[in-house]
Amino acid sequence: MTTADRPVGRVVPRWQDTTLPVSDRVDALLAEMTLAEKVGQLGSCWVGNDMAEQAEGSRVAPLPDVFAKAGSVPLAEASRHGLGHLTRVYGSRPATVAEGAAELVASQHTVLRNSRLGIPALVHEECLTGFTTYGATVYPAAIAWAATFDPDLVRRMAAAIGRDMRALGVHQGLAPVLDVVRDYRWGRVEETMGEDPFLVAMLGAAYVHGLEGAGVIATLKHFAGYSASRAARNHAPAPIGRRELMDVILPPFEAAIEVGGARSVMIAYSDVDGVPAGVDSWLLNDLLRDDWGFTGTVVSDYWAVAFLATMHRVVADTDQAGVAALAAGIDVELPNTLAFGQHLMSRIRDGELCESIVDRSVHRLLAQKVELGLLDPDWTPESSVATAADVDLDSPANRALAAELAERSIVLLDAGSALPLVDDGRAAPGRVAVVGPCAADSRTLMGCYAFPNHVLPRHPGMALGVTVPTVVDALRAELPDTELVHEPGCDVRDEDRSGFAAAAAAARGADLCVAVVGDRAGLFGNGTSGEGCDTEDLRLPGVQADLLAELFATGTPVVVVVVSGRPYALGDVHPRAAGLVQAFMPGQEGAAAIAGVLSGRVQPAGKLPVQVPRRPGGQPGTYLQPPLGANTDGISSVDPTPLFPFGYGRSYTTFEVDDLRVSATELPTDGELAVSVRVRNTGARAGHEVVQLYLRDVVAQVTRPVRQLAGFAAVRLEPGASARVRFHVHADRSAFTGRELRRIVEPGEVEVLAGTSATDLPCRATVRLTGATRVVGHDRQLTTPVDLQAGETDADEH
């Protein structure tokens, strides 16, 4: 119904009365709904889902044959009692903004015609590397955001994504991914923000703040334990204990809710210690709702409810899966209604399911529809896309932000003898050979949830929809007076070595060789990185390591650029490279950022959110290790020392961190401490440094990490300039899960360390926590506020 269709003087129902509180409006609507209408709100429909008909090599989800029937249900039938969500109207196939908006309007009208009370559907889309739709800006992958160590930059990106989505009638975005990396072999490392829970928490909360601030519901995923799967296999069991879950996996979700204001959570596919997330009432009710006070919606990952029967086998069939998942705390089934269908009515009549459980979930979803304005009397499908025609999904402002993120994310591992290529005392090389499978392939710059990699493989022949220069293109523009020759050498993943000879010849005939190696993102085995693209070890994919060996043997200096979604073992590469750069899938503006770092125009600023291993085996091995996990005293024949540690990254200037000051050497277990250091730019160029603060529990009742990140600040300084970075560290920041599985702050000595990486920590002090052991909960301090003061200061710290 449109506004014009309403009779003059019509009484507005209480649930459309915008002067009433949200809860009152929802209660009034629930009272008007039949049981069938309530159940209808629990489901979703993916219009145009062609998963059963995809070309070979282009799957977007596992087991498409099993779920083809869901994609074949027409929207009119799927919504005949109403509908909770419309799935990926813009993100399923290439379409213009006008075409997508028209489809959304038509779909909403179908839902409204089938809803006796006129309840629209909530529209959700993917948005991990930008709005996942044709022609939208492709930002760097999440692992690249993490390399910036800059929450405000991530917030700005998320706000831009949210504004574009909201203008097109989208209400919910399926991001961010808050899984903490536990094993680099996992294919979805590229979607994460690294291996430290505090870094993931702060960047994730910033993303949520930006998206929610634009009026789009942020969805935290994957809750919880997904990244801890055995052998890093997608969907594999997560054999972790409650302590690791509480101290490593869950803190980012908690912070994104409390600090960021997230309104939705998506469950993980995996099971933790034998209990799938979809039936884990402790996780979804006791912890999330009761302890954390979360009031938003819990949605299933795609087909995860049905997977309880087909993959986990904890219930007999899909119908039972729906009953179990709803009772455990899932509110909405995505992307299609398989398990939350009308069969639930008979389960209620038979006493197997309480209607109050249905009411509970429907209340949560309807509250969000009220908050989004969908139940206001003047809302229409047309009004939801009224400004769509004015939206440029790849605007100059978006591209500038994507370029800023890309430039800040590039990690200089070693300048070696060749970088920067252009300097005050060095002219650009006359002839450069650009070699490697990632040098002239735009898709290698983007993650698996970027539209060109996620959807376009099912539409061969379609243009990318956005301009994505290659590294070869960018180097030609960056070095206009240099002769560039290009040879791929090999494919990203094939075993074909027939291109080695031409690549080696090009290198021999050049003054310098730039080798661009790494990943091409894909889905379910159709890439070397991405969902379902796990790896057995951390060798460079295919024969790329052999290609590098051929290039090194030519005697020409070789600068190696790794464009990847995960860290690869570079112990054999580093000693032979004339320069080494890590670029974590930097997006559509990434090639220019890489070229700028190589030339020296861009000052490298990125820091490693994951360690770079020395050897391809011996996984998993993140920096969060207790003493025995990091031991190198000959106890094991496997040395866990990384080639480059967490938080590491160089630049073309130099920085010094010194003059540590602490406000006290003792504080109570409920007190706060000020810790400050001075950071100075001791080089000749302006640049960014990330000052990092770590804590080490000297003696604790359970084993604790040798060091763990507790605070960080990105600081930009001109040559010769300095700043004082002050961290406000509450005793709660030392909390951990004790022997009785309660989170505690324990008295005793805590070492405070500051520097520029997890192993470069020149500033150290010891503080003693005094008083009784405190049990802390969700109300504890989750953040470490930071103040920056330019210039020298001799003021006492208080």
Cβ count near 624 (within 10 Å): 24
Q: Which distant-in-sequence residues (6+ apart) come within 8 Å of 324 by Cβ? A: 278, 279, 308, 314, 315
Strands 579-584 and 672-681, bridge-based pairing: unpaired
DSSP code, position 136: -
164 vs 477: CA distance, rounded Å: 30
The DSSP bridge partners found for residue 715 are: 689
Marked catalytic residue, from 183, 271, 301, 331: 301
Region at 82 (left for phi over 0; alpha for psi -120 to 50; beta for the rest):
left
Q: How far apart are CA 618 and CA 631, in angstroms?
A: 13
61 with 303: CB under 8 angstroms? yes
Residue 333 C-beta-side C-alpha neighbours within 13 Å: 33
Residue pointed to by tokens 């429909």? 45
Whole-angstrom distance, CA of residue 400 vs CA of residue 156: 12
Q: Cα–Cα distance between 15 and 24 in angstroms, integer?
A: 7
Q: What CA–CA distance (Å, rounded) separates 325 from 276?
A: 10
Distance CA 763, CA 450 (A): 41
Instruction: Determine contact, residues 709/733, Cβ cutoff 8 Å.
Output: no
Q: Contact at 8 Å (CB) between 552 and 632?
A: no
Backbone angles phi, psi at 260, to 5 degrees: -85, -30
Q: Which residues contact 43 (CB under 8 A, 6 or more apart)?
A: 78, 83, 84, 85, 332, 333, 336, 337, 340, 341
Say whether 5 is catalytic.
no
How far from the centroid of its chain's Cα atoms is residue 678's Cα? Answer: 32
DSSP per-residue codes, 534-590: --SS-SPSTTHHHHHHHHHTT-S-EEEEEEESS----TTTGGG-SEEEEEE---TTH
Catalytic hit among 124, 171, 222, 235: 235
Element (H, E) at 690: strand 687-697
Question: Is 235 a residue of the active site?
Answer: yes
Q: Which residues are catalytic?
A: 235, 301
